[in-house]
Amino acid sequence: MGRPIGKQILPSIRYKGFTFPFNPATTEYKIDRSYIKHKYPEIKGTELEDLGPNACVISGDGEFFGPNAYSNWNNLLREYKKGGVGSVYHPIFKDITRGLMVSLHAKVEPIPQYISYSFEIVADTAPSVNECLGKYISVLSSPIDTGSGDGGGGGGNGNSGSLVHTVVKGECLSVICARYAAQFGTTISWRKIATHNNMKNPHLIYPGDKINIYYPT
């Protein structure tokens, strides 16, 4: 059965075009981080590489009740079905201003004009790849030809760009390549990068090492 109803103290939560007539009974805020554990041969201990926080998540559960219970549910469901990221307002968790409702559940009991619900909203935040990489790269102004010839086509005909990356503590080659691939919207093979740089063991790189990164343009 629904909780006792009193005066609402906090401003109403909003998702896209829907304003909750009564705030959910509870809302929760969750955030965690992504990281990689690096274990090196013949070296004791594990080194952690911090990849930064993941998207925040707001979850909540509550009830619609009274003459407008079912219409309120239908209006919320309509906003969910629209898809796409939209505006979010929570009176406490104000750092989340845009998000996507990724799940929505309802439960009906044999009680007139009553429906309980729960939802989960994931925050939408712009990636800060450029900010992270800006400290460590110097982009060469002129495009070069890597001459890889991979996949046929004679090689040497496709243009590519080049930059020099300075390794920092905790980095590995595959993650470095993935970051640049995300920045330039392309695919960068860490195996090819290792070959271009004549690496004997691409799994062993050290802070201060200079790595030439080639990427298609």
pTM tops 0.75: no
pLDDT in tens for each of the 217 residues of the chain?
A: 444 455 568 899 999 999 999 999 999 999 999 888 887 777 788 888 888 888 999 999 999 999 999 999 999 999 999 988 999 999 999 999 999 999 999 999 999 999 999 999 999 976 544 444 444 444 333 333 333 444 333 333 456 788 999 998 888 888 888 888 888 888 888 889 999 999 988 888 888 999 999 887 6
Q: What is the CATH number of domain 14-123?
A: 2.40.30
CATH 3.40.720.10 corresponds to the domain 129-216: no
In the chain, CATH 2.40.30 covers 14-123
Query: What is the rounded CA–CA span in Å between residue 38 and residue 123?
Result: 29
Query: What is the rounded CA–CA span in Å between residue 184 and residue 181?
Result: 5
| Structure tokens given for 195 | 């070959």
